[in-house]
Amino acid sequence: MTTSTMEEMPATASLRAHKGSSRAETLLGRYRQIRDFSERLCETLEPEDYVVQSMPDVSPTKWHLAHTSWFFETFVLKVWFPNYRTEVPEYAYLFNSYYNAAGDMHRRDLRGLISRPTVSETHRFRHSVDSHIAQLFELADDALLDEIEPVFTIGLHHEQQHQELLVTDIKHVFSQNPLAPIFRERESEGTAQEVAPLAFVDFAETIVEIGHAGSSFSYDNESPRHRALVPAFALATRPVTNGEYLAFIETGGYGKPEFWLSLGWTTLNEQRWQAPLYWSERDGVWWNFTLAGMKPVDLAEPVTHLSYFEADAFANWSGARLPTEFEWERAAAGLKIEGNFVDAERFQPGPVASAPNDKLEQMYGDVWEWTRSAYLPYPGYRAAAGALGEYNGKFMCNQMVLRGGSCATSHSHMRATYRNFFQPEKRWQFAGIRLARDPQ
């Protein structure tokens, strides 16, 4: 599967049938491309790489491949495939993640202890699920597809989420190895370019519609669409760079509690943070562990692998703040969704624009952008019944919202209303900073 093929697929997940192809063929074609891309991401891995769990937040590559197959087996095949029988019933226990309504599950922090099934057996499980899905779609009429398509579409986006986690998780795994393994080679891109000074775009106070609208796919946490007052604000034209963040480090930003939230200051000292995750200093030179190996820190790239606490502290140090998610969505409305996504297989944020610009750049891709908004339900939100209702709603506590996608996110998975969320201390995702400020 080529990257261009991935980019040419429809960005929405309602997946209406293309002219000259049946609805079932269109859905199945999309399914195969996404499933194939998961395996493409693993092409440079050895069997030993598939089984390592470097921290509780990280899952082994093998587990991601099996869990996404379990999802289709559990929520599609076991519901709609006539007389379907799983070959290994114990997989339902091993590869459930957090769906309590779907049954018991193996402990998340012990996934690295699952040496069996082997990698080859995991691939066999995937291919068995793929074969049964194809048979199901051969049998399905339009009435049955009406039932299957909503759940099936969630499964496709669920797999894309796990593709992103597969990339970020294997990066953390490789970072623990003194040999600094390379996930994917990347050609040298020369020396860091000059970066244009940071500028801001002003937005007037207004009432805007927030949340997803229309028939294309979205998660339940993007609804209901509702009106929100967004006071006047200004948003930075680009993300914060490594060079700008290095100035924060060199002026003692990690040692000045006045810039930090209380919990952030406690976490910083407990974890002994001194720089973004994957940075290290040797002989006065800062290095960055990337999926292409250890590289000198590129001052022109957006800074990434930051916690919310670090993003907020940098914003305070710089005399600005983080945007709210409503400000971010208002600014992104109408912008074309384009950027450095996983489809390009660069696996690293790209440099920011070198020339001054009065327009918003890199709103999508490269790095997820922390907002100052807590992850909470929109007015009128109700989680759906059953196991799939556990997908988002039960995590609406003690987490912060991120927007825009990253270099590990699929292009077709992104939209302006997409709400990602993580606990404020997490750093292993490609998360960075876009500053905002109040009217001057």
pLDDT tens per residue across span 178-211: 999 999 998 776 655 789 899 999 999 999 999 9
Structural tokens at position 419: 């709400």
The domain spanning residue 51 has which CATH number? 1.20.120
The answer to whether residue 241 is domain-embedded is: yes
Structural tokens at position 200: 């801001």
* Least reliable range by pLDDT among 93-102, 117-126, 128-137, 182-191: 182-191
pTM for this predicted structure: 0.92
Find where tokens 């623990």 sit.
Answer: 176
Mean local confidence (pLDDT), 322-330: 98
In the prediction, which pLDDT does 21 show? 57
The answer to whether residue 307 is domain-embedded is: yes
Amino acid at 33: Q
| Mean of all residue pLDDT scores within the chain | 92
pLDDT tens per residue across span 365-395: 999 999 999 999 999 999 877 767 667 778 8
The verdict on 158 and 19 lying in the same domain is yes
Q: Does the pLDDT at position 414 exceed 60?
A: yes
196 or 289: which carries more pLDDT confidence? 289
In the prediction, which pLDDT does 354 show? 78
Are the CB atoms for 26 and 17 separated by under 8 Å?
A: yes
* Least reliable range by pLDDT among 207-216, 330-339, 352-361: 352-361
Structural domains in the chain (count): 2
The answer to whether residue 188 is domain-embedded is: no
Are the CB atoms for 233 and 360 separated by under 8 Å?
A: no
Q: What share of the chain is helix, strand, coil (3-state, %, to 5)?
A: 40, 10, 50
User: Residue 14's pLDDT band (boundaries 50, 70, 90)?
Assistant: very low
Structural tokens at position 249: 């480090």
* Least reliable range by pLDDT among 83-87, 237-241, 318-322: 83-87
Are the CB atoms for 207 and 196 separated by under 8 Å?
A: no
In the prediction, which pLDDT does 387 show? 65
How many Cβ atoms sit within 10 Å of the Cβ of residue 302? 29
In the prediction, which pLDDT does 17 show? 38
In the prediction, which pLDDT does 187 show? 79
249 or 194: which carries more pLDDT confidence? 249
The answer to whether residue 321 is domain-embedded is: yes
Task: Give the contacts of 67 (CB within 8 A, at least 6 positions apart).
Answer: 59, 95, 96, 97, 162
The verdict on 149 and 215 lying in the same domain is no
In the prediction, which pLDDT does 353 show? 79
In the prediction, which pLDDT does 7 show? 31
Question: Which residues does residue 288 pair with via DSSP β-bridges, in sequence order?
Answer: 279, 295
Among the three residues 142, 175, 208, which one is the final residue of a domain in this structure?
175
pLDDT tens per residue across span 17-33: 333 359 999 999 999 99
Q: Does the pLDDT at position 428 exceed 50?
A: yes
In the prediction, which pLDDT does 194 show? 84
Measure the CA–CA gap between 286 and 294, rounded to whole angstroms.
10
The verdict on 212 and 309 lying in the same domain is yes
The verdict on 207 and 329 lying in the same domain is yes
The domain spanning residue 414 has which CATH number? 3.90.1580.10
Buried/exposed 403-412: b ≥16 CB within 10 Å, e otherwise: bbbbbbbbbb
CA atoms in the 13 A half-sphere facing the CB of 419: 27
Amino acid at 348: Q
pLDDT tens per residue across span 48-104: 999 999 999 999 999 999 999 999 999 999 999 999 999 899 999 999 987 877 789
Mean local confidence (pLDDT), 4-8: 32
The verdict on 257 and 334 lying in the same domain is yes
Measure the CA–CA gap between 294 and 313, rounded to whole angstroms.
27
Are the CB atoms for 318 and 377 separated by under 8 Å?
A: no
The answer to whether residue 249 is domain-embedded is: yes
Any idea what the Cα angle at residue 83 is, between residues 82 and 86, rounded to 5°? 120
Amino acid at 371: T
Cα→Cα distances 420→10, 92, 111, 368, Å: 21, 27, 24, 8
Phi/psi of residue 437, nearest 5 degrees: -155, 160
Are the CB atoms for 45 and 122 separated by under 8 Å?
A: no
* Least reliable range by pLDDT among 12-16, 163-167, 266-270: 12-16
Parent domain of 335? 200-437
Structural tokens at position 284: 């006065």
End-to-end CA distance of the chain: 50
Residue 304 is classified by DSSP as -
Q: Does the pLDDT at position 247 exceed 70?
A: yes
Any idea what the Cα angle at residue 270 is, between residues 269 and 273, rounded to 5°? 55
The verdict on 319 and 249 lying in the same domain is yes
Q: Does the pLDDT at position 419 exceed 70?
A: yes
Measure the CA–CA gap between 203 and 438, rounded to whole angstroms.
10
178 preceded by cis ω (within 30°)?
Answer: no
Cα→Cα distances 298→9, 29, 181, 192, Å: 33, 39, 20, 6
* Least reliable range by pLDDT among 183-197, 273-287, 413-427: 183-197
Helix axis angle for 61-72 and 142-175, nearest 10°, is 170
Q: Does the pLDDT at position 2 exceed 80?
A: no
Question: Which residues does residue 210 pair with via DSSP β-bridges, in sequence order?
Answer: 226
